[in-house]
Amino acid sequence: MSHNAIDVIRAKRDRNRLTDEQIDWVIDAYTRGVVADEQMSALAMAIFLNGMTAEETARWTAAMVASGEHLDLSAVTRPTVDKHSTGGVGDKITLPLAPLVAACGAAVPQLSGRGLGHTGGTLDKLESIPGWRANLSTEEITAQLNSVGAVICAATEGLAPADRKLYALRDVTGTVEAIPLIASSIMSKKIAEGAQSLVLDVKTGTGAFMKTEAAARDLAKALVAIGKANGLNISALLTDMSIPLGRAVGNAVEVAESIEVLQGNGPADVTELTVALAREMLTLAGIDTDPAPVLASGQAYETWCRMIKAQHGDPDAALPKPNHIHVVEAPATGTLTTLDAYAVGVAAWRLGAGRARKEDPVQHAAGILCHAKPGDHVTKGQPLLELHTNTPEAFTGALAALTGGYQIGDSTPEAKPLILDTLRG
């Protein structure tokens, strides 16, 4: 049966379910350039407005996976398990998590990305380590998974090319927020990476992509359903992103904090989420090991050092330091009641820790240290935030972003749990 783009657009415009054949055809034709950008734009908007069933979304995802290579991890001798976060402020969890899970006996093929906007990128953080290399071949990935148990690297160009093309289109057509398109974008890359199991960290709050818990829950359900339909062992944690994770936001500062976690003296919230995600990953991988004592023993830190060395990095090298520091002092004595994750994330971005376009460079030394978190008592004049940059003219924009982003009052804010729920396939 022959297909054409207009019939597919009309079907979704009129709220009809797309057939498997229509989905397979339109993704393949768009990847090859047969379907024009303006036609796929119209289809994306129809999906944004009218949605997709779980079956449609699973098939859409599978078609995007089929548009490119599938990473073959059959030569890896350990059970493979991956993790994906929907992104947040101070979210350096991948850095301590991958070596921790590897130290417990699994293989973690963590193919990561770079930051855009107020959410940081894992590769940007790791590239602050002198000599560290993000780009690895499939053979190097497999060899490192067998020798070390963990790899954090850039995705190969051949994985899910349909997603790369469609993501760029969604970005300029106002369709980024469509849950079926978000879910299929995330899962097409993760399925193509070839791991047997996947744990998702779906964040909600001001610093997250999904601002409300209801929207985050809908996304988590969609992601888990796609994973199940495509044969993955999968679960999702709903986690809070209304305040920054840990005390470091940026690149080198987040690496330093990750090392603190691996050495047993990191912030409580980063350690809590790292251990919780590790437990879930190990459960899905069928490994009956408690990660908490493994983290406390230093084994995960040893695995971190081996992982960094395997990618030509020097785990003992000094991390970049900023040329300029500005300290934001507490304007009054009292309790810090608010520290808005989005405000801090935008401020770090403006200092040079992030990028507005994917082509932009980042400053490895840029970032923010949070000297107080909500619930802490502060005294007027004491340091609240420490801003790092190599471009001092960036302080003006960063301080503007922080306006209203922190508040000091008389009452202690109600403590909100970091992990809100777990959804399993």
Q: What is the CATH number of the domain that holds 33?
A: 1.20.970.10
Q: Residue 38 falls within a domain, yes or no?
A: yes
Smallest CA-to-CA distance from 81 within 228, 224, 182, 193 is with: 193
Specify the pLDDT at position 108. 98
Checking if the pLDDT of 197 tops 70, the result is: yes
Mean pLDDT of 191-218: 95
* Number of domains, the chain: 3
Q: Residue 76 falls within a domain, yes or no?
A: no
Mean pLDDT of 387-413: 96
Q: Residue 165 falls within a domain, yes or no?
A: no
Mean pLDDT of 288-292: 98
Active site residues: 84, 163, 170, 185, 189
Q: What is the pTM of this model?
A: 0.93
Are 304 and 356 part of one and the same domain? Answer: no
Q: Are strands 108-112 and 150-154 parallel, antiparallel or unpaired?
A: parallel
The two three-digit tokens of residue 40, written as one number: 């796929």
Are 311 and 398 part of one and the same domain? Answer: no
The two three-digit tokens of residue 359, written as one number: 């082509």
Specify the pLDDT at position 171. 78
Kindly report, residue by residue over 314-353, the tens digit of the pLDDT: 999 999 999 999 999 999 999 999 999 999 999 999 999 9
Provide the residue range defining the domain that includes 255. 81-156+191-316
Are 146 and 245 part of one and the same domain? Answer: yes
Q: Are strands 197-204 and 233-240 parallel, antiparallel or unpaired?
A: parallel
Checking if the pLDDT of 77 tops 90, the result is: yes
Q: Residue 113 falls within a domain, yes or no?
A: yes
SS3 of the chain: the string is CCCCHHHHHHHHHCCCCCCHHHHHHHHHHHHHCCCCHHHHHHHHHHHHHHCCCHHHHHHHHHHHHHCCECCCCCCCCCCEEEEEECCCCCCCCHHHHHHHHHHCCCEEEEEECCCECCECCHHHHHCCCCCCCCCCCHHHHHHHHHHCCEEEEECCCCECHHHHHHHHHHHCCCCCCCHHHHHHHHHHHHHHCCCCEEEEEEEECCCCCECCHHHHHHHHHHHHHHHHHCCCEEEEEEEECCCCCCCEEECHHHHHHHHHHHCCCCCHHHHHHHHHHHHHHHHHHCCCCCHHHHHHHCHHHHHHHHHHHHCCCCCCCCCCCCCEEEEEECCCCEEEEEECHHHHHHHHHHHHHCCCCCCCCCCCCCEEEECCCCCCEECCCCEEEEEEECCCCHHHHHHHHHCCCEEEECCCCCCCCCEEEEEEC
Mean pLDDT of 38-51: 96
Specify the pLDDT at position 332. 96
Are 217 and 241 part of one and the same domain? Answer: yes
Checking if the pLDDT of 400 tops 90, the result is: yes
Are 196 and 229 part of one and the same domain? Answer: yes
Kindly report, residue by residue over 222-246, the tens digit of the pLDDT: 999 999 998 999 999 999 999 999 9
Specify the pLDDT at position 285. 97
Q: For residue 56, what are the CA distances in angstroms to 104, 191, 357?
A: 37, 16, 31
Are 311 and 344 part of one and the same domain? Answer: no
Are 290 and 211 part of one and the same domain? Answer: yes
Are 297 and 402 part of one and the same domain? Answer: no
Are 98 and 224 part of one and the same domain? Answer: yes
Specify the pLDDT at position 221. 96
Specify the pLDDT at position 358. 66
Q: Do 313 and 130 touch, CB atoms closer than 8 A?
A: yes
Q: Residue 66 falls within a domain, yes or no?
A: no
Q: What is the CATH number of the domain that holds 376?
A: 3.90.1170.30
Are 131 and 244 part of one and the same domain? Answer: yes
pLDDT-derived band at 29 (thresholds 50, 70, 90) equals very high
Kindly report, residue by residue over 141-193, the tens digit of the pLDDT: 999 999 999 999 998 878 889 998 998 888 788 888 899 999 999 999 999 99
Are 341 and 224 part of one and the same domain? Answer: no
Q: Residue 142 falls within a domain, yes or no?
A: yes
Checking if the pLDDT of 1 tops 70, the result is: no
The residue from 316, 341, 371 where one domain ends is 316
Are 285 and 394 part of one and the same domain? Answer: no
* Opening angle at CA 56, ends 52 and 58, nearest 5: 115
Kindly report, residue by residue over 99-154, the tens digit of the pLDDT: 999 999 999 999 988 766 677 789 999 999 999 999 999 999 999 999 999 999 99
